[in-house]
Amino acid sequence: MTKKSKLSKIIGLFFIFLTLNIQSYEPILASNFLSNNFKKQSSQGNSNEDVKSEYLLGPGDGFIVEFIGLEIFSNKYIVDRDGNVFFPELGKVKVDGLTIKELKKILEVQFKNFIKNPEIFISLVKYRPVYFTITGEVQAPGLYSLRYELEEVSSVNINNSDSIFGDNTIKPNIPTPSRIPRLFDAIQLGNGFTEFANLTEINVIRENSKSQGGGKISRQINLVSLLEKGDMSQNIILQDGDNINIQKDPNPIIKQLNAIYRSNVTPPFIKVFVNGNVVRPGLIELTKGSTLIEAIAASGGQKNNTGKVEFIRLKSNEKADKRVFKYNSNSMKGSKENPILYTGDIIYLRKNILGKTTSAIEEISNPLFSGYGLIKLFD
């Protein structure tokens, strides 16, 4: 065999090895698989130092620890509710809050009492639910959760004497995530934004790994960039314990709001109350992004002698927002006189003075006071 053919074979075997390791061990370093660029937080504010957000182990996670060449030590483990894992050789080991890399270093040190120069791979095979909070300018702030969806990957069986793994090597069956909780999934659970949401400044705050200094790290997300430009770097992977804070902008940009209403980030329908001087008062259902004028039209329109409009919006953590203004069917969409509506909004059309007088006469002259009784009343 020539030197050239030997070199070609070595290169070929190297690529086989590389390919199989990528297929079998892609989830091993979950910190790489789930990494995002964040900034460290300090008492003075956000630092300019970028860090890689790494997956932190916690109760409910499951992983395989593989000892290369010593399969007898390899095993699957589940993190218990106290954040510990029991290893037959070591006893309880606290893993809560550790990254895969950090746990790997700890085990390599501790297993040196049993194995000379242990070579360890750790693969996440079960992900705990992701619990997170949504705060700020959303319709339904609170605590929510999302789950990973996993799909099984068939084991790789190599039966080849030239294999660099040796004869009849079987790589483990490691499930990979087919669906990963992301920011967009979380925001959909918030039931839409308030009219003052700043969609270009959504802050995600999370725990930092101990090896990167601990504490909190944060990233600012531009949701408009995701929706209008398809910038998927804004749709970051969520981690357990994240806080998603929607900043407030007292002067919202209608263009931003329209970008949201055209998307599937908000529910497709809203329900509002329209009462007073309209043809069909009561609760009505409208498509998202509808305005006050459209709601009145959907209620059959205003009756004669309509006066001012009362608009009431109930807020989750503040007093109700109440506005009284003159009805103008030509008001611009998103203006104070024609606001974009949210579920639970109340619209009441008052009657003008003539309308109130007419109503009073109608009430007096109803069948209860008709005929002789009505004549006597004015006699």
Whole-model pTM?
A: 0.65
In the chain, % helix, strand, coil (3-state, to 5) comes to 25, 35, 40
Would you say residue 336 has pLDDT above 90? no
Q: Can you name the CATH fold of 269-358?
A: Outer membrane lipoprotein wza fold like (3.10.560)
Integer Cα distance of 323 and 309 in angstroms: 8
* Residues 6 or more apart whose Cβ sits within 8 Å of residue 286: 269, 270, 271, 272, 294, 295, 298, 341
Q: What ranges in the chain are assigned the alpha helix state H? A: 3-25, 30-33, 100-110, 183-189, 223-229, 254-261, 292-298, 353-364, 372-378
pLDDT in tens, 141-195: 999 999 998 776 544 443 443 333 334 444 556 777 778 999 989 988 887 787 7
Mean pLDDT of the chain: 77
Q: Which of 8-12, 73-77, 347-351 has the lowest mean pLDDT?
A: 8-12
- Contact assessment for residue 55 and residue 33, using Cβ atoms and an 8 Å cutoff: yes
Confidence at 290, pLDDT banded by 50, 70, 90: confident
Report the alpha-carbon distance of residue 316 to residue 141 in Å, rounded.
8
Specify the DSSP class assigned to residue 367: G
The rounded distance, in Å, linking the Cα atoms of 292 and 347 is 8
How far apart (Å, rounded) are the C-alpha atoms in residues 311 and 348?
A: 6
Tokens representing 104 are 């790997």
The DSSP bridge partners found for residue 248 are 197
Fold match flag (3-39+53-128+148-179 vs 269-358): no
For 374, the token pair is: 């009505």
CATH of domain 3-39+53-128+148-179: 3.30.1950.10
**Sequence ranges of the domains in the chain:** 3-39+53-128+148-179, 269-358
